[in-house]
Structure 1
Amino acid sequence: MAFPDLQSFIRLLEARGELVRVHTPVSRELEITEIADRLVKTGGPAVLFEQVLGSDFPLVIGLMGTRERTALALGVADLDELAARVRHLIDLKGARGLGGLLGQLPKLRDAMNLPPRRVNTGPAQEVVWRGDEVDLSRLPILKCWPQDGGPFVTLPLVITKDPETGERNMGMYRMQVMGRNVTGMHWQRHKTGTRHLEKARALGQRLEVAVAIGGDPALIYAATAPLPPIPGLDEFALAGYLRGQRYPVMKGVTVDLDVPANAEFILEGYVDPQEPWVMEGPFGDHTGFYTLPDLYPQFHVTAVTMRRQPIYPATIVGRPPMEDAYLIEASERLFLPAAQLILPEIVDYHMPPAGVAHNLVVVSIKKSYPGQAYKVANGLFGLGQMMFAKVIVVVDEGVKVNDFAAVWREVAQKAVPGRDTLTTRGPTDVLDHSSRGWGYGGKLIIDATTKRPEEVGGAVSSRDEQAGDLAPEAFAPQVAASLPTSGGVLAQTQTPDGYWLVALNKTRPGQAQELAQLFAAHPAAAGMRHLLLVDEETNVHDLQDVWWTILNNIDPERDVWPQGGLLVWDGARKLPEEGFVRPWPPKIVMDEAVVRRVDALWHLYGLAPLQVTPPEKEGAAQ
């Protein structure tokens, strides 16, 4: 089902009981975030805030805040259908003769929907602000988290054009409002926007930029998708394919760029590569930590165009699960067939919310020879944005990759520390605060597949001299009274799956290594396979919270090592005395006064009481 615009999708959600209108005035500074965060973590509805204090426009949030709503937005009954559609499209085998050609027509019709369709006018230019009329404070742009550097546009579709080739790009890059007509432009070093800016610098010219806010859901998703570098395939083409019809675009009023004709707002302007970059941030990011301030270019807004009655769409990111988890899952499904074309033994893969996309990838394979797990993992590291993956876990084809608890049981039972773990190095996401260098760090491959005889003859720990896979009964949690409590240990527990979860108050360098030696030598380690060390803010009884902290806070080459029969994961903060020179960012926590305010006003919002157990949280707490 194709939606002509965002508002048609909003009407459908409201008709289905998936969107609630809030008539009570709300603040765009933190209050909307607190409401939206509670709802997305409990599978609640999208919300249309009709009165945002200090703004002329309503705001909608959480439009794709569940798996089901994301599927609906992309025109499928279930996200798994995306893989089937792409597999059908790319299976364009040569057809001979008229009969063979006619048999390909349905697929060719799909492909013809890819290029955008030029129109002369559209709703997105019904109202135009120019010059002194431009005032971004009139839009309900959110300050999401207490330590954010200011309000941020969180759902922008940033459009640029290669100054040399004319290649078009659309990406989603956060934008901090720095004045009535100026924002930051968070173009990281790996992004296409950065490449376009550098070309403009070399040519001695400004780079024109258009930022669409809104558009139909397929276009919003397409701006987040990690598209492969295929000529003719851009975000408008992907949206056209998902819609089943060519995407309508028109020329901007002050920029020579194609903009979506059905957007709610469009910000037009430029980035001057000769200007000094400005300090942007902090920002409560999708990692669940603040991204600390850094230098980025400025975007100057020369015009704002909009519908006559626009709705401002927004999202929030932070501690998982968040709305972006479902957009990530859509990309998984969409690009699974392409990954299988290159690595045909792949059965399925998944990036769990606890891994915030790039920190953890679980892949199941049809294994037929020794070493195949490493071949697949290394192949994945070379596929587009998969190069940012930090930990790849490879499991057998019968394991459900989206069953978080089952995956880690497989790891405990089939991956012997040191024998079935391999560290390497490569590019990392620049938001990774724990890597050994900016955008560069360690990676970990865990082979949790059933081993062949050739794979069990290498180095193993003394406990695992037999080097066979372990049955679940091999793990025996110890009683709490027998566990060690020295070295800054604040809380700990052991799971039936062989994981020892320990929260510590880190006060000195080398403390994690000391604890690892102590714990590995303790009798309580006899039934354990992994030692997970986390900070004092982590709940050791919540497996999701533990793994989220671990995966954010490790550089695998530095922080994951075999100790006796344990694989140690040091997820505590790193200190300057340990050679870590970058500032360590705080975890995102909402201001308590805002939490109390939302508690007090919840009954006025017209929202249902919150569920106790999040319905879409993967893996039960241990």
Structure 2
Amino acid sequence: MPFKDLREYIAFLEHHGDLRRITAPVDPELEITEIAHRLLRADGPALLFENVIGFDMPVAVNLFCSHRRMNWALDMDNADALASRLESMIEMVQGGPPSGIVNKLRTLGRLIHVGSFQPKTVRQAPCQEVVLTGEDVNLYQFPIIKCWPMDAGPYITLPLVITKDPNTGVQNYGIYRMQVFDQSTTGMHWQTHKVGARHYRASGDREDDRLEVAVALGGDPVAIWSGSAPLPPDIDEMLLAGFIRDEGVELVPAKTVDLMVPAHAEIILEGYVIPGEERLEGPFGDHTGYYSLAEPYPVFHVTTITRRHSPIYPTTFVGRPPTEDYWMGKVTERVFLPLIRLILPEVVDINMPAEGIFHNLVLVSVKKEYPGQARKNPSEVAWRVANNLNPGTDLIIADGPIDDLDVASPTPRFGSKMGIDATRKGPDEGYHREWPPDIEMSEEIQQRVSRRWSELGLDDLIPSHGI
């Protein structure tokens, strides 16, 4: 059975020995990241910080950062089993393999409308037990963490951002980071290709004075993950969540914006963005392993907060891979493989290594090769190449002697080799932008956490000196 909300999922993890409660006081600025990062690298449990300094609200982290946790969260044996179910559904909907690229792309839309996957509307919901408006709206009531030393401030890192296409009325759910500027405004990190950014631009094209936005924190784990899924713009992510759950997600009308929000979320932020209004956002320790530098992004104005009586604040952090988004992304890779095969039937398998952060590098096994060829284990080189390579200037081709066994060259023992310059570039190499620094925790925080490791009650998992 799928989990109703984040609380059921946390209770399940604790019952299976895969969640640890931390009762010692912990600072939301950097300390939570450092502790959680150490446990992530050691394949440790999820964490629930119950004594966050300055707050009476617990913080949950590392909820999805292992294959077993993702399997539990999505109520599946494994992602390949879910992919097989999707593949069977494709055949059922189409009555056989679809022909033509357009028909193949339309299959996804028809597929997720099959069965009882549609969201269910309710009129009362736990996420609206408390309603705050006016001067009671204060983002600083939540233990929003600062992840890395050079971050511009605290960031909401696991939000389900909800917008509606101004032209079609179709809702979109996406996970976009949100820098907290003050008690009622944040940045909205809508990259150009994201659907939320399309809705933002569409509002400006229509000369709408604002685009309504809601942000859900917590809720059903499947719904949270679905916000990260790369669906076409006209497909509601809650339909995909319903397919995975095999039952519809419960939604409730927001209190002050014309949007439907997950009924079992912990916290809902309601408000708007104004087309054309932007503010400098960043730096932020990003999932590339580097800081993304400050750039202008839209401003989200929070006008209403609804929440449970005693909410749990869910968060995550990213950085040099792998971090939690890696395990979330690996499910996407497996689940979407059948859809890739719809378009490219010669594909046998794919693997998006952690170092490629799911958009810079993909290993593909096709039918002329052996199945599973893409199952490799790249590390430092793959990470640097995926992030530092500019193909126009950094590919080096040279002719010369080659191994006798190299069959790719048209002539024996002589051919070409390719080198990749994945180093940090400077002005003397024509690179005049500022090169972003690697993400590293400060020595002060590392030492502080090491000194407090026993107090945190984590020595039985990994010793502080062995991390």
Question: What TM-score, normalized by structure 2, do the two folds share?
Answer: 0.89
Partner of 2:387: 552
Q: Distance in 1 between matches of 2:123 and 2:257?
A: 15
> Aligned in 2, Cα 1:570/1:350: closer, same or farther, shift over 3 Å?
same
Q: Distance in 2 between matches of 1:190 and 1:108?
A: 24
Match among 394, 399, 402 for residue 375 of structure 2: 402
Displacement of 1:246 after TM fit?
0.7
Per-residue CA deviations over 1:538-572 (Å, capped at 9, x if unaligned) read xxxxxx22331232111123212223454211111
Q: Identify the structure with bigger relative contact order (alpha carbons < 8 Å, sequence gap 6+).
A: 2
Matches within 5 A, 1:327-476: 327-367=328-368, 396-404=369-377
Q: Distance in 2 between matches of 1:559 and 1:217?
A: 41
The sequence identity of aligned pairs, in percent, is: 48
For 2:95 and 2:227, the matched residues in 1 are separated by 34
Residue aligning to 2:457: 606
Q: 1:21 maps to which residue?
A: 21
Q: Would the aligned equivalents of 1:186 and 1:297 in 2 still touch at CA under 8 Å?
A: yes
Residue 164 (1) aligns with residue 167 (2)? yes
- Residue 488 of structure 1 is matched in structure 2 by none
- How does 1:55-66 map onto structure 2 within 5 Å? 55-66=55-66
Q: Aligned equivalents of 1:562 and 1:579: distance in 2?
A: 19
Q: Which residue of 2 aligns with 1:242?
A: 244
Aligned partner of 1:589 among 427, 433, 440: 440
Pick the structure with greater CA Rg: 1
User: Which whole-Å CA distance do the structure 2 matches of 1:296 and 1:225 have between them?
Assistant: 22
C-alpha displacement of 1:577: 2.9
Partners of 2:150 and 2:92 lie apart in 1 by: 51
CA distance in 2, matches of 1:31, 1:93: 50
Return the offset for 1:92.
Answer: 1.8
- Which residue identity lines up with residue 165 of structure 1 in the other structure? T
Q: CA deviation at 1:138?
A: 1.1
Distance across 1 between alignment mates of 2:371 and 2:135 = 62
Report the Cα distance in structure 1 between the residues aligned to 2:76 and 2:225, rounded to whole angstroms: 14
What's the counterpart of residue 308 of structure 1?
309
Cα pair distance change 1:546/1:93, threshold 3 Å: closer
Alpha-carbon distance between aligned partners in 2 of 1:247 and 1:403, rounded to the nearest angstrom: 36
Q: After TM superposition, give the deviation of residue 399 of structure 1 in Å.
A: 4.2
- 2:397 corresponds in structure 1 to 562
Shift of 1:609: 3.6
Pair 1:262-2:97 in alignment: no
| C-alpha displacement of 1:343 | 0.9
Which residue does 1:455 correspond to in 2? none
**What amino acid does structure 2 have at the position aligned with 1:366?**
K
Q: 1:603 to 1:178 in 2, by over 3 A?
A: same
Alignment partners' CA distance in 1, 2:95 and 2:429: 62
User: CA deviation digits over 1:36-76, x for unaligned, max 9?
Assistant: 11111121100000011122310000011101100110111
Q: Report what 1:131 is aligned to.
A: 134
Give how far 1:108 is off.
8.6
| Structure 2 Cα separation of the partners of residues 163 and 281 of structure 1 | 28
Q: 1:46 to 1:93 in 2, by over 3 A?
A: closer
Name the structure 1 match of 2:38.
Answer: 38
Residues 144 and 284 in structure 1, CA contact (< 8 A), matched pair in contact too: yes
State the shift of 1:94 in Å.
6.1
Deviations 1:441-471 (A, max 9, x none): xxxxxxxxxxxxxxxxxxxxxxxxxxxxxxx
TM-aligned CA deviation for residue 90 of structure 1: 1.0
Contact 1:113–1:237 (CA<8 Å) still a contact in 2?
A: no
- Note if contact 1:46-1:60 (Cα within 8 Å) is conserved in structure 2: yes
Maintained 8 Å contact 2:118/2:247: no
Runs of 4+ in structure 1 off by over 4 angstroms are: 93-96, 107-110
Structure 1 residues 93 and 70, CA gap change in structure 2 (3 angstroms): closer
Q: Is the 8 A contact 2:112 2:239 kept in 1?
A: no
Q: Distance in 1 between matches of 2:163 and 2:56?
A: 28
Q: Residue type matched to 1:91 in 2? A: E
Partner Cα separation in structure 2 for residue 67 and residue 609 of structure 1 = 19
The residue number in structure 1 matching 2:430 is 579
CA distance in 1, matches of 2:94, 2:325: 38
Q: What amino acid is the match of 2:441?
A: M
The number of residues matched between the two structures is: 434
Q: Is the 8 A contact 2:279 2:297 kept in 1?
A: yes
Query: How many Å separate the matches in 1 of 2:57 and 2:223?
Result: 22
Contact persistence 2:44–2:461 (CA under 8 A): no
The residue identity in structure 2 corresponding to 1:212 is A
Rounded Cα–Cα distance in structure 1 between residues aligned with 2:310 and 2:192: 37
What does residue 283 of structure 2 align with?
Answer: 282
Amino acid across the alignment from 2:28: R
Instruction: Give 1:323's aligned residue.
Output: 324
Q: Which amino acid in structure 2 is aligned with residue 402 of structure 1?
A: R
> Structure 2: how far apart are the matches of 1:134 and 1:244?
36
- Deviation sequence 1:371-424 (CA, Å, 0-9, x none): xxxxxxxxxxxxxxxxxxxxxxxxx2244422226xxxxxxxxxxxxxxxxxxx
Looking at structure 1, the residues matched to 435 and 95 of structure 2 have their Cα atoms a distance apart, in angstroms, of 58
When the two chains are superposed, the root-mean-square deviation of aligned CA atoms in Å is 1.9
Q: Residue 67 of structure 1 corresponds to which residue in structure 2? A: 67
Q: Compare 195-204 and 12-21 and name the one that shifted more.
A: 195-204
Residues 38 and 95 (structure 1), Cα distance of their counterparts in 2 relative to 1, 3 Å cut: closer
- Letter of the aligned partner of 2:222 in structure 1? A
2:112–2:243 contact (8 Å) kept in structure 1: no
List gaps (5 residues or longer) in structure 1.
Answer: 97-106, 368-395, 406-543, 615-622
* Amino acid aligned to 2:193: H
- Change in Cα spacing, 1:398 to 1:199, as seen in structure 2 (3 Å) is closer
Residues 284-317 of structure 1: CA deviation (Å, up to 9, x unaligned): 0000000000000100000111111110111110
Partner Cα distance (1:89, 1:400) in 2: 26
Residues 1:292 and 2:293 aligned together = yes
Cα drift, residue 82 of structure 1: 1.7
Aligned in 2, Cα 1:249/1:360: closer, same or farther, shift over 3 Å? same
Structure 1 residues 348, 399: CA separation in 2 closer, same or farther (over 3 Å shift)?
Answer: closer
The residue aligned with 2:99 is: none
Determine the structure 2 residue equivalent to 1:174.
Answer: 177
How far apart, CA to CA, are the structure 1 residues paired with 2:352 and 2:298?
31
1:82 matched to 2:82? The reply is yes
- Deviation of the 1:581 alpha carbon: 2.6
Give the TM-score taking structure 1 as reference length: 0.68
Map of 1:447 onto structure 2: none
Distance of aligned partners of 1:279 and 1:581 in 2 relative to their CA distance in 1, 3 Å threshold? same
- Letter of the aligned partner of 1:553 in structure 2? N
Partner residue in 2 for 1:499: none
In the alignment, the residues of structure 1 paired with residue 111 and residue 451 of structure 2 have an alpha-carbon distance, to the nearest angstrom, of: 57
The CA deviation at 1:355 is 1.4
Separation of aligned partners in 1, 2:444 and 2:269:
34
Distance (Å, rounded) in 2 between the aligned partners of 1:325 and 1:31: 22
Are 1:209 and 2:216 an aligned pair?
A: no
Give the structure 2 partner of residue 223 of structure 1.
227
Cα 1:580–1:95 shift into 2, 3 Å: closer
Give distance in 1, aligned partners of 2:111 and 2:200: 35
Give the letter aligned to residue 65 of structure 1.
Answer: C
